[in-house]
């Protein structure tokens, strides 16, 4: 069985469990953790995660953040200046993080994102070097009604997550789902 097939099987175990709707937002975060080399194998199988979610009786919304920085930068009034002086980007990256969090919060606030819905986020790897996934999750967690599923290319060791093998931060309340984990929380 491939890593992605195993991950899908583990996800199915999680999504079929009864949901406690009284959990705090950070406790409603699931991170599907997989080897970054599997990204291209995961992408075409996102529909299977959707089908699994729907067959478990839950709603599904998918937000792909892969092109978010490019779209944001393309609409930025100072984009040409940043291309000429990229060292000045630090200030702009804080604005990008804010815009990104607002985009996720808007989806979480939509009528479709109710307490029975999995809001899935793909493309977290595209945020590497631009913003921290842990900061994004911390920002949007209070707005989660159902479950937030992040597809996380990296690894975790207990409460610490490593995007592409680099420490991204603490999110000790997020539940890791990994291929062959055998752990259901």
CATH number at residue 7: 3.40.50
Comparing C-alpha atoms, which of 7, 36, 21 is closest to residue 183?
7
- Predicted confidence at residue 183, as pLDDT, reads 44
pLDDT band for 167, please (50, 70, 90 cuts). Answer: confident
pLDDT surpassing 50 at residue 185: no
153 found inside a domain: yes
Rounded Cα distance between 15 and 81, Å, is: 46
- pLDDT of 3-57, one tens digit each? 999 999 999 999 999 999 999 999 999 999 999 999 999 999 999 999 999 999 9
150 found inside a domain: yes
- Predicted confidence at residue 115, as pLDDT, reads 97
Q: How many of the other CB atoms lie within 10 Å of CB of 144?
A: 23
pLDDT surpassing 80 at residue 168: no
41 found inside a domain: yes
* Average pLDDT estimate for 122-130: 94
pLDDT band for 2, please (50, 70, 90 cuts). Answer: very high
184 found inside a domain: no
pLDDT band for 136, please (50, 70, 90 cuts). Answer: very high
183 found inside a domain: no
82 found inside a domain: yes
Give pTM, 2 decimals: 0.91
46 found inside a domain: yes
**Strands (DSSP E) found in 35-134:** 59-64, 117-122
pLDDT surpassing 70 at residue 181: no
Query: What percent of the chain has pLDDT above 90?
Result: 71
Q: For the chain, how many helices (H) and strands (E)?
A: 7, 7
Which residues, 6 or more positions from 138, have their beta carbon under 8 angstroms from its beta carbon? 26, 171
**Strands (DSSP E) found in the chain:** 29-34, 59-64, 117-122, 147-157, 160-163, 166-170, 175-178
* Full residue range of the structural domain in which residue 57 is found: 3-17+24-178
**C-beta separation of 153 from 125 below 8 A:** yes
- Predicted confidence at residue 169, as pLDDT, reads 65
Q: Tell me if residue 85 falls in helix, strand or coil.
A: coil
- pLDDT of 57-113, one tens digit each? 999 999 999 999 999 888 887 667 777 777 777 878 899 999 999 999 999 999 999
59 found inside a domain: yes
Our count of domains for the chain comes to 1
């Amino acid at each position: 069985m491939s890593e992605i097939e195993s991950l899908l099987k583990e996800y199915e175990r999680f999504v079929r469990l009864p949901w406690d709707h009284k959990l705090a937002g950070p406790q409603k975060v699931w991170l599907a953790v997989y080897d970054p080399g599997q990204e291209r194998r995961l992408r075409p199988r996102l529909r299977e995660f959707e089908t699994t979610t729907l067959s478990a009786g839950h709603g599904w919304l998918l937000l792909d953040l892969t092109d978010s920085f490019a779209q944001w930068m393309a609409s930025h009034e100072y984009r040409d200046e940043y291309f000429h002086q990229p060292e000045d980007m630090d200030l702009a990256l804080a604005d990008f993080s804010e815009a990104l969090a607002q985009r996720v919060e808007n989806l979480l606030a939509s009528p479709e994102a109710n307490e029975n819905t999995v809001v899935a986020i793909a493309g977290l790897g595209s945020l590497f070097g631009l913003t921290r996934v842990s900061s994004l999750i911390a920002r949007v967690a209070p707005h989660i009604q159902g479950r937030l599923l992040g597809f996380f290319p990296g690894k975790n060791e207990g409460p610490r997550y490593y995007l592409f093998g680099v420490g991204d931060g603490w999110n000790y309340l997020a539940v890791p789902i990994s291929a062959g984990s055998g752990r259901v929380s």
